[in-house]
Structure 1
Amino acid sequence: MRWDELDKQPCSLARTISVVGDRWTLVILRDCFLGIRRFDALEKSLGITRHVLADRLKKLVDSGVLYKTPYQQKPIREEYRLTEKGLELHPVILALVHWGDKHMVDERGAPIVHVHKKCGQVMQPVTVCSCCKEPVTAKDIRVEVGCGWQDLAKELLP
């Protein structure tokens, strides 16, 4: 499977990786969730070259994850905001941060914590079943062939 063909694969994960799977995109999205919206501020925060940042932002806009909106008229300057599609990546970012806080921190601990505004407590993301609301892990899930992958899945899944 070639990198530039991931978006054509009959796999939702491969298609998702085609949008957010390079080494800069997730940290760009992290900064967007932290409220950083302007090109210069993203460039400064990330220490990324203008060319790479412009390329990743264009891809996120073209994919419908971000949209540009003007914040200044003369000259026109735009900032990047999360779309609904982009906001739906928040649980993914939280899960990755939680994994990093558990497995990638040094002796100082987590660099930031997420506080639930409603109860004021530091929270950890939890995956629950959408039907019964019970927590689920990889061992609690069975994979079955979906409509979007009928023919190929029969060959690949047990």
Structure 2
Amino acid sequence: MKRTDTSAWPCTIARASVIFGDAWNVLILREAFYGNQRFDRLQEALDIGRNILTDRLKTLVEEGLLERAAYQDHPARYEYLLTQKGRDTYPVLLAMATWGRAHALSPDEDPLIFEHDTCGHDFDAMVACSHCKQQVHLEDISFRRGPGYPGYRPDDAPSSTRLSAPR
């Protein structure tokens, strides 16, 4: 099945889906956060074919989320380290885990509990305003066209549009 390439679409979600729309990419990133950064460990943890793992690692390196670093010379062996761009995916993975905990698993199936080291409490991901730090809900959001919107002209930009929560 051929996928539509959304990497040049003028949409932040379409562009992010290039990485997060592929389950193997997401799972490889998850494993990198767990400390599994070597090819053999990734293959074992994910039970993934070598050819598929090779292809996805190449993509994640090309996209700048992982960097390939030699850890052995003879024979040459590499590990795949998270870059800053890769580390910046942690809120996405935490949000996916929070959604999965609420909608894809029963409470007795939860494989990991996230604990905040600073306060010692268990937590789930939440969306907060980067300015006021308050939690943001769907009903609290409005949007307006930005400079990357096709045909954008600042003087034509409409006032903010309110999102309405589905009922």
Q: What is the TM-score with the length of structure 1 in the denominator?
A: 0.90
1:110 corresponds to which residue?
Answer: 110
Pairwise mapping of residues 1-158 of structure 1 onto structure 2 (< 5 A)? 3-151=3-151
Structure number with the bigger relative contact order (C-alpha 8 A, sep ≥ 6) is 1
CA contact (8 A) 2:101 2:107 kept: no
Q: 1:4 and 1:72 mapped to 2: Cα distance?
A: 38
Q: 1:76 and 1:151 mapped to 2: Cα distance?
A: 50
Q: 2:107 and 2:93 mapped to 1: Cα distance?
A: 23
Q: 1:107 and 1:91 mapped to 2: Cα distance?
A: 22
Letter in 1 for 2:7: D
Q: Secondary structure at the match of 1:71?
A: strand
Higher helix fraction (1 or 2)? 1
Letter in 1 for 2:133: K
**Runs of at least 4 residues of structure 1 off by over 6 A?**
none
Higher mean C-alpha displacement, 85-94 vs 106-115: 106-115
1:150 Cα deviation from its structure 2 partner: 4.0
Q: What is the TM-score with the length of structure 2 in the denominator?
A: 0.85
Q: Percent identity?
A: 38
Q: 2:23 and 2:118 mapped to 1: Cα distance?
A: 33
Q: 2:126 and 2:107 mapped to 1: Cα distance?
A: 24
Q: 1:95 and 1:125 mapped to 2: Cα distance?
A: 5
1:115 Cα deviation from its structure 2 partner: 1.1
CA RMSD across the alignment: 1.7
Q: 1:20 and 1:107 mapped to 2: Cα distance?
A: 25
Letter in 1 for 2:143: V
Letter in 1 for 2:140: D
Cα deviation digits, residues 14-69 of structure 1 (max 9, x gap):
11111231121111111111111000110011111111111011000000010011
Higher mean C-alpha displacement, 53-62 vs 121-130: 121-130
